[in-house]
Amino acid sequence: MLSRAAFLQSSTAARSFARRALSSTASFDKVGVIGLGLMGHGICQVSATSGAHSSIVAYEPEQQYLDKGKDRIESSIAKLVKKERMTQEQADESLSRITFTTDVSELSDADFIVEAVIENMDLKQTLYESLGQVCQPSTIFASNTSSLSITEMAAFSGRPENFVGVHFFNPVQLMKLVEVIRTEQTDPLVFEKAYNWVSDIGKVPVRCGDTPGFIVNRLLVPSLMQAMSMVDRNDASVKDIDLSMQLGAGHPMGPLHLSDYIGLDTCLYIVEGWVEKYPNEPSFMIPSCLKEMVEAGHLGRKSGQGFYYWDGDKRGDPVA
């Protein structure tokens, strides 16, 4: 067992080595992506097709989810070839950069790891505590969370100075914006490397502190709640609220249409977490109609009914 002095000396040496490794301004060579679901498979794909990395490790703990994510990536790239947005040679080269694995040790020497697992803090705590032990001291961790605290996850990892948020938008392959989030503990050099990485893979980065919802959702979610509150008060109809924001504010879809598209359960999950954690913030509130619809199983597009009726991705009339 190491003495306290020896432990402190080894820890100092490890931190010094990690900082030297970060001093280069070059893009990350080896990138890991954890979780190949809706967001993760897209992050993995754009990382591979950017040509900015020699290798990408795509990790899922269960083979069935790994296979599903791999199929999604291969199918998406095949569509790009069919539409002549890339050649078959470029597609093959991109796919050859990805190592699909259920072995977490494959991530041990990654330079940068993006986590895109479900929005469950207990799950993320277990994951980051494990990664902190598995990965080399210089590895930078980044969470794709849309609503959870980057600061809390950074603490779980045991390396808060090497932790950032990189919030992509759905669908990752098409949406250009990525919010890059810093905490009070994030090393400025680490933040700049993560910020530059977003540009390296062809996206547009913006800087943000660790505020609830970051930039987009901090502005967007309260506005969705206000639209729902208008429904609660019977101030205006669902149709007229959405039409007003489309024609009056130039939005591509109205707030209630968008809420249905996102998923009413997802909207409720986000705002319930904010209300619990920030009870004195007046813009964080839960409309009655949202809670009632989720309790009834009316989740929007994914369930076929929310503020509107849905047939797959096709929106129908407002629910009376």
Please say whether the beta carbons of 270 and 218 come within 8 A: no
Alpha helices (H) along 39-176:
40-50, 63-82, 88-96, 121-134, 150-157
54 is known as an active-site residue: no
217 is known as an active-site residue: yes
Catalytic residue among 217, 257, 259, 298: 217
Please say whether the beta carbons of 205 and 178 come within 8 A: yes
146 is known as an active-site residue: yes
Please give the Cα distance from 170 to 155 (Å, whole number). Answer: 27
147, 33, 20, 203: CA torsion to nearest 10: -70
Please give the Cα distance from 209 to 76 (Å, whole number). Answer: 33
Structure tokens at 74: 């291969």
Catalytic residue among 47, 144, 146, 157: 146
The amino acid occupying position 117 is V
53 is known as an active-site residue: no
Helix H or strand E encompassing 315: strand 314-318
* Strand-strand pairing, 308-311 and 204-209: unpaired
Catalytic residue among 60, 106, 161, 179: 179
Which of 231, 255, 226 lies closest to 243, judged by CA? 255
Catalytic residue among 41, 53, 167, 298: 167
Please give the Cα distance from 109 to 111 (Å, whole number). Answer: 6
Catalytic (active-site) positions:
146, 167, 179, 217
